[in-house]
Amino acid sequence: MSPLALTPELVARLPRQVEDPGPMARAEVPDAWYPATVRAVTAQVPQDGQLWVFAFGSILWKRRFAVVEERAAQVRGWHRKFCLGPDTRYRGNPGAPGVMLSLDRGGQCRGMVLRMDSDGRDAALEDLLRHEPPVPPAWVRAQTPQGEVRAIAFVTRKAFEGYCGQLCEAEVADRLASAVGMWGSMAEYLHNTVTHLQVMGIKDAYLWRMQALVAERLARLPRRCG
């Protein structure tokens, strides 16, 4: 697999993070939505009681729950895409909004399935939901070397107000190369994701194009001092 064009040195040309820009300008999600979604998910857990999560982006490198088993997996019918936005708080700001990675309809996606610890599972699932866009997760069939498992995946749908899958790759790259929020930059997010996929032996053609486009844009920025 060829070396990545997007390097830590290029990512460092952007500020590491910014102060909290404040809440994003989208409809407030009722707090009751989270426990209700937990109940909806757990009501559909298979009879074996195992809840698997399909990891394709940040959950690969920043797990927010206890994992008792992990497997390489492939899901058909969904593909990675920067198609959620605008992020004006976490990895973007009002002056330079970010675009978040999600799963969009069509194609296929390779990643991992992670089995959640049954102890404290509902609380862990609610915490995970609170760190994801307010879109109910979808149940997917994940093919693994040990057989098929049903898993939840954080997907987007065209009806969601934040869907922006119509943006061309150049427009997305422009945003990824400029957006910085309270959690860091979109370029850092992209670099972390492709680096972890590379270690796993996964080359996602779309993300490899995006990291090259973002690297081109960051190379035009001056190096930051200090």
Banded model confidence at residue 17, pLDDT cuts 50, 70, 90: very high
225 lies in a domain? no
Residue 27 has pLDDT above 70, yes or no: no
pTM for the whole structure: 0.94
Q: List, as one string, the DSSP characters of 65-124.
A: S-EEEEEEEEEEEEEEEEEEEEESSSS-BTTB-EEEEEEEEEEEEEEEEEEEPSTTHHHH
Q: Of 12, 1, 18, give the one whose Cα is nearest residue 219.
A: 12
Range of the domain at 42: 8-219
Residue 3 lies in a domain: no
Quick one: angle between helices 121-130 and 33-42, nearest 10? Answer: 130
pLDDT band at 38 (very low <50, low <70, confident <90, very high): very high
- Residue predicted with more confidence, 27 or 9: 9
Asked whether residue 226 is assigned to any structural domain, the reply reads: no
Q: What is the pLDDT of residue 210?
A: 98
pLDDT at 76 over 90: yes
Check which CATH number belongs to the domain holding 77 and give it. 3.10.490.10
**Residue 184 domain-assigned (yes or no):** yes
pLDDT at residue 50, as a whole number: 96
Check whether 62 has a pLDDT greater than 80: yes
Tell me whether residue 224 is in a domain. Answer: no
In the numeric block, which tokens belong to residue 8? 């830590």
pLDDT above 70: percentage of residues in the chain? 99
Domain presence at residue 172: yes
Give a yes or no: residue 194 inside a domain. yes
Average pLDDT, the chain: 95
pLDDT digits 0-9 by tens, 185-219: 999 999 999 999 999 999 999 999 999 999 999 99
Q: How many domains does the chain divide into?
A: 1
**Average of per-residue pLDDT across 61-86:** 96
Consecutive H or E run containing 184: strand 184-185
pLDDT band per the 50, 70, 90 thresholds, residue 226: low
Could you report the per-residue pLDDT of 97-148, keeping only the tens digit for each?
Answer: 999 999 999 999 999 999 999 999 999 999 999 999 899 999 999 999 999 9
Give one DSSP letter per residue of 192-204, joined into a string: HHHHHHHHTT---
Can you give the pLDDT at residue 2?
A: 77
pLDDT by residue (tens digit) across 152-169? 999 999 999 899 999 999
On whether residue 2 sits in a domain, the answer given is no
Give yes or no for residue 183 having a pLDDT over 70.
Answer: yes
| pLDDT tier, 172 (very low <50, low <70, confident <90, very high otherwise) | very high
Which pLDDT value is given to residue 5? Answer: 98
Per-residue confidence (pLDDT) for residue 29, from 0 to 100? 87
